[in-house]
């Protein structure tokens, strides 16, 4: 599978992350989105008329929406990430995949404006992003009340991966995550998953690695 990729794109990161978590090897093609605007070039428009990144190609299949790519990777390599057979859970996953597009628009828009100096109405994007974050926080709080950690089912699913990147990078767009304790714990649970990989702006959880013992001072 070939992924047309951009290291700073949270949508592209969703696919790299999902592939890493389920053990699929992707062939990455780096696209010079910034500053080159290569995603708007004719060669890439031929693959994706919308001119957006990422693009996933698997034989004849060309996907340009990250939610569809997550479904594709899960079906191929790890169907458990699609949740169980429960009707409500299946619907909830679709709900969160659709919700993740709002995150792209609002949190992603704020980030592009604030960090990459692209045009945008920053206060309006941040206000809309705050409503999204509150909705997610409320949902995750309800999950915690019934003893659950992830958005749907009793395990991580593509719903979590679809929502995680833009939320984790909200501070890039000037939105603090301090007001959201349930989001904080959920992000930590995702970052602790075996096979998890970072992207710039999401730091390594150094606490998962023990302090290098040989270097400890003798007393303090």
Residues that bind another protein (CB under 8 A): 6-8, 30-32, 34-36, 38, 114-117, 134, 137-138, 141-142, 144-146, 171-172, 174, 178-179, 181-182, 184-185, 188, 200-201, 203-207, 209-212, 214-220
Closer residue to another protein, CB minimum distance, 62 or 138:
138
Question: Under DSSP, is residue 24 helix (H, G, I), strand (E, B) or coil?
Answer: coil
For residue 219, give Cα distances in angstroms to 207, 215, 216: 22, 12, 9
What is the Cα–Cα distance from 186 to 193, expressed in whole angstroms? 11
Closer residue to another protein, CB minimum distance, 85 or 215:
215
Q: Tokens 């340009």 correspond to what residue?
A: 64
Q: Which residues neighbour 127 within 8 Å (Cβ) at sequence distance 6 or greater?
A: none
Closer residue to another protein, CB minimum distance, 86 or 142:
142
Give the pair of three-digit tokens for residue 79. Answer: 């169907």
Smallest separation (angstroms) from another protein to the CB of 9: 10
Smallest separation (angstroms) from another protein to the CB of 115: 6
What is the Cα–Cα distance from 199 to 171, expressed in whole angstroms? 14
Closer residue to another protein, CB minimum distance, 142 or 154:
142
Give the pair of three-digit tokens for residue 43. Answer: 């060669």
Closer residue to another protein, CB minimum distance, 56 or 74:
56
Closer residue to another protein, CB minimum distance, 62 or 205:
205
* Cβ contact 83:89 at 8 Å: yes
Smallest separation (angstroms) from another protein to the CB of 5: 9
Smallest separation (angstroms) from another protein to the CB of 66: 19
Alpha helices in 23-157, H assignment, sequence order: 42-47, 66-77, 87-103, 109-115, 122-145
Smallest separation (angstroms) from another protein to the CB of 71: 27
Smallest separation (angstroms) from another protein to the CB of 79: 30
């Amino acid at each position: 599978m070939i992924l047309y990729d951009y290291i700073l794109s949270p949508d592209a990161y969703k696919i790299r992350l999902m592939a890493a978590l389920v053990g699929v090897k992707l062939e990455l093609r780096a696209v010079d989105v910034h500053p080159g605007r290569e995603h708007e070039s004719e060669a890439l428009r031929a693959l994706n008329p919308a001119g957006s990144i990422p693009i996933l190609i698997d034989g004849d299949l060309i996907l340009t929406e990250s939610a569809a790519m997550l479904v594709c990777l899960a079906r191929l390599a790890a169907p458990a990430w699609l949740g169980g057979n429960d009707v409500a859970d299946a619907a909830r996953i679709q709900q969160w995949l659709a919700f993740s597009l709002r995150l792209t628009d609002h949190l992603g828009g704020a980030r592009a404006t604030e960090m990459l100096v692209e045009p945008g109405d920053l206060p309006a994007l941040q206000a809309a992003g705050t409503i999204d974050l509150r909705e997610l926080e409320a949902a995750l709080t309800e999950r915690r009340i019934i003893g659950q950690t992830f958005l749907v089912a009793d395990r991580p699913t593509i719903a979590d991966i679809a929502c995680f990147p833009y939320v984790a990078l909200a501070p890039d767009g000037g939105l603090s995550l301090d007001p959201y304790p349930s989001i904080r714990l959920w992000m930590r649970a995702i970052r602790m998953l075996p096979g998890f990989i970072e992207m710039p702006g999401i730091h390594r959880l150094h606490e998962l690695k023990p302090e290098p013992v040989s270097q400890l001072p003798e007393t303090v």
